[in-house]
Amino acid sequence: MKPTRLQSALAWLVAGYASLASTQATFSPGPSYSIGIPSGSSISSSSTGPLYFQLKAPATYQWVALGTGSQMAGSTIFVMYADGAGNVTISGRKASGKSEPKMDSVIQGGLELLEGSGVVDGNLVANVRCTTCTLDSDASSSSSPWIAAWNTGSSLDTTSTSATISQHSNQNTRQVSIDLSTASIASDSNPWSTSSSADPTTTGSSGSSSNPTSGSGNSGANAGISFSGQDFSAVEDYQMAHGIIMGVVVVLLFPLGAMFIRMGGSGVVHGILQVLSLCALIVGLGLGFKLADMTHSMLNNTHTIFGLVICVLFLIQPIFGVIHHIQYKRNLARASVSHVHIWYGRILMLLAVVNGGLGLQLAANSHNGEIAYGVVAGVVGVAYVVMVMIKRKDKQPLWKEGIPLGSPPGYGDGRAQPQYVRQADMMNFK
């Protein structure tokens, strides 16, 4: 039966609506990438859900990868390469830093190559559905962070999902921010299934392309997608500088400054050392702010929130120190603020060391790096505790050292005579 004009019009309207309702976020910095999230998907940073993505590049590419997040450390990465039999292999991996990401069996178990995948017209094409994936944002984020990387060279020609891949250059990477409202698809089904075999994707570079680009451009991105001006080496440099400065300050400088005063050092020198350490802490905090901005991790995780609070609390410590010093000079004995100054500092140092460990986890540092940090922090901590216990046993009352108690003769305001102040300083009961 021949359809009426009304039926034809309705069919066109339905098709048009489906076209508008189903879109994929697309960008082509060299290879072509597309991302689609089904309407109502539960996927987020804390829960899995269906996710569709497409990787497409000329067969002269050795491998092409797409990853969640703004840096390799901790990212879930999907790698596509030729299998040597006219098809492609898709490998789900986890990255732990500036090293080759390793295949993850949980992620791999949720990956499915869909219709249209393979080596088509000289292009590697992977249309993929993932059910074990998470994002580094929620599904409605207007600035969801992603990364892309690729490499050229001889085809890997393997079906192994754990095949070794060679390292890419700094030019062959991109950090991408995606408005996921542009990646909404109408249903949980292959958004590329209607493509012809000659052009299995509605997006990406032309199937006739045979020469890989150098990756210097950011062409082919649709609305809602922006490329970061930062490269991975800059992120890693900031990460290393922040980690080294903060680690040295909280594990070495602050504890050594505290031990210095217990070894008979001058209270003034102790104060100067700790203020200099505090300045270094502020520098590390500034680097941390810059790093968090580059990686879109500003105050959205325990390490950054806890770290900011600890740094603010450290800024108060010099106030307690000055009050303690003044009262100690006046009375030749600890006051209530003295105990606050001492224990407040000890607690902050302990919390800072713990937060440093959280930072190593956030950066997905190597296991050896975490062990080294723990060992150094443990050794310094034990040394500090031992020194406190020894000095406590050696501590003598002031009268046993020949220093009279109470206000010396001739002073009616409670101040000690200068010679006793100097003697108490040498004894260093702090």
**pLDDT over 50 at 317, yes or no:** yes
Angstrom distance (rounded) from CA 265 to CA 332: 17
**pLDDT over 80 at 218, yes or no:** no
pLDDT of residue 388: 86
Other beta carbons within 10 angstroms of residue 85's beta carbon come to 12
Angstrom distance (rounded) from CA 121 to CA 200: 10
pLDDT of residue 229: 52
For the chain, give the percent of residues with pLDDT over 70.
77
Closest CA to 107 of 78, 77, 132, 81: 132
In order of 60, 175, 226, the CA distances from 229 in angstroms are 27, 8, 9
**Residue the block writes with tokens 């092409």:** 64
pLDDT range class, residue 303, cuts 50, 70, 90: very high
Other beta carbons within 10 angstroms of residue 203's beta carbon come to 19
In terms of pLDDT, which residue wins out, 354 or 21? 354
Residues 6 or more apart whose Cβ sits within 8 Å of residue 411: 417
With left for phi above 0 and alpha for psi between -120 and 50, is residue 157 left, alpha or beta? left
pLDDT of residue 307: 96
Angstrom distance (rounded) from CA 218 to CA 214: 11
Which amino acid is it at 31? P
Are the C-beta atoms of residues 83 and 161 closer than 8 Å to each other? no
In DSSP terms, 175 is beta-bridged to 147
Other beta carbons within 10 angstroms of residue 145's beta carbon come to 22
**pLDDT over 80 at 69, yes or no:** yes
pLDDT range class, residue 426, cuts 50, 70, 90: very low
Angstrom distance (rounded) from CA 423 to CA 311: 35
**pLDDT over 80 at 102, yes or no:** yes
**pLDDT over 90 at 130, yes or no:** yes
In terms of pLDDT, which residue wins out, 329 or 160? 160
In DSSP terms, 173 is beta-bridged to 149
In order of 236, 287, 288, 359, 377, the CA distances from 240 in angstroms are 6, 10, 10, 11, 18
**pLDDT over 80 at 22, yes or no:** no
pLDDT of residue 172: 87
Angstrom distance (rounded) from CA 103 to CA 22: 31
pLDDT range class, residue 40, cuts 50, 70, 90: confident
240-283 tens-digit pLDDT: 999 999 999 999 999 999 999 888 778 889 999 999 999 999 99
In order of 96, 165, 239, 364, 414, the CA distances from 367 in angstroms are 10, 22, 17, 9, 57
The mean of the pLDDT values for the chain is 81
pLDDT range class, residue 79, cuts 50, 70, 90: very high
Residues 6 or more apart whose Cβ sits within 8 Å of residue 168: 149, 150, 151
Closest CA to 179 of 339, 388, 27, 293: 27
Are the C-beta atoms of residues 215 and 227 closer than 8 Å to each other? no
In order of 76, 116, 204, 359, 361, the CA distances from 73 in angstroms are 9, 31, 27, 12, 10
Query: What's the pTM?
Result: 0.57
**pLDDT over 80 at 116, yes or no:** yes
Helix ranges (DSSP H) in 101-165 = 105-109
Angstrom distance (rounded) from CA 145 to CA 67: 9
pLDDT range class, residue 369, cuts 50, 70, 90: confident
**pLDDT over 80 at 423, yes or no:** no
The alpha carbon dihedral of 56, 144, 114, 116 has a sign of negative
In terms of pLDDT, which residue wins out, 172 or 416? 172
82-95 tens-digit pLDDT: 999 999 999 999 98
Closest CA to 75 of 182, 183, 188, 175: 175
Task: Tokens for 165, please give them.
Answer: 């891949």
380-399 tens-digit pLDDT: 999 999 988 887 655 554 44
- The DSSP 8-state label assigned to residue 187 in this structure reads S
Angstrom distance (rounded) from CA 420 to CA 329: 9
Are the C-beta atoms of residues 81 and 168 closer than 8 Å to each other? no
* Strand 76-82 with 102-103, pairing: unpaired
In terms of pLDDT, which residue wins out, 306 or 207? 306
Are the C-beta atoms of residues 82 and 90 closer than 8 Å to each other? no
Other beta carbons within 10 angstroms of residue 193's beta carbon come to 11
pLDDT of residue 5: 56
In terms of pLDDT, which residue wins out, 295 or 100? 100
